[in-house]
Structure formats: structure tokens, C-alpha cells
Amino acid sequence: AQSVSQHNHHVILSEAASLELGCNYSYGGTVNLFWYVQYPGQHLQLLLKYFSGDPLVKGIKGFEAEFIKSKFSFNLRKPSVQWSDTAEYFCAVNAEQAGTALIFGKGTTLSVSS
């Protein structure tokens, strides 16, 4: 069965620190990859997505992610976090035969102190 692992459950950073959140998935076929963010009290919203092409994708609010096929990884990065980045981050995978169904990781809570 497909699964998604997010390595860090809770990350605490100071403003201006760099961020990298790990995500690995288990599925041997073609996948689409996503990072979603859930700010306190708000809906899940899409940060960025990878379908094909350049494995380095850029999303909203200065976030980027790199797809490394050989490592089944799709890590999220941001060079300098802000207090407003405090949120829960979810990595998700969609397999080729699964329609629009997303398999989510358990999420990483990011706390940024000012």
C-alpha cells in the first residue's frame, strides 16, 4: 500500500532560520506530489505541487520543494522563515491510478518564534 512519511512531527525555529521538512513516499509508479499548509483556524491550502519536468518546484510564500525520484523524496524548503509561517505542513502523494485521491503524511507542526 502507498504511504507517506514525514520525518519531523514538530519543528521549532527562530525567525530567519532556514527550514527543511522531509517527506518520503512508498510507491513505485508515476506520482504527483504536493505540499499543503494549514494555518491555525484556516483551511488546508496548496503550497506547491509537482507533476513532471523540473524537479525543483517553487510555490507560494517563498517555499520550494525538490523531487528526488531515486530517493522517493519530496522535501520542502524555505531559506528564511517568518513568524507567519507557523502552521501544520502536510506532504501528499497522488498515484497514477488513484484518480484524485491523495495519500497524506501525518503532518509536521512548525512553530516559529519572533
Partner 1 sequence: KAGVTQTPRYLIKTRGQQVTLSCSPISGHRSVSWYQQTPGQGLQFLFEYFSETQRNKGNFPGRFSGRQFSNSRSEMNVSTLELGDSALYLCASSLHRRTDTYEQYFGPGTRLTVT
| SS3 (DSSP) at 110 | strand
Q: Which is nearer to partner 1, 21 or 107 (CB)?
A: 107
67 binds partner 1 (CB under 8 A): no
105 binds partner 1 (CB under 8 A): yes
Please name the amino acid found at residue 21: L
Instruction: Say if residues 17 and 83 touch (Cβ distance below 8 Å).
Output: no
Task: Name the minimum Å distance from CB 99 to partner 1.
Answer: 4
Q: Given candidates 16, 39, 106, 111, which one binds partner 1 under the rule CB under 8 A?
A: 106
60 binds partner 1 (CB under 8 A): no
Q: Which is nearer to partner 1, 19 or 35 (CB)?
A: 35
What are the beta bridge partners of residue 73?
24, 68
How many whole angstroms separate alpha carbon 108 and alpha carbon 97? 27
How many whole angstroms separate alpha carbon 63 and alpha carbon 30? 23
Binding site for partner 1 (CB under 8 A): 32, 34, 36, 43-46, 49, 51-52, 90, 92, 94, 98-107
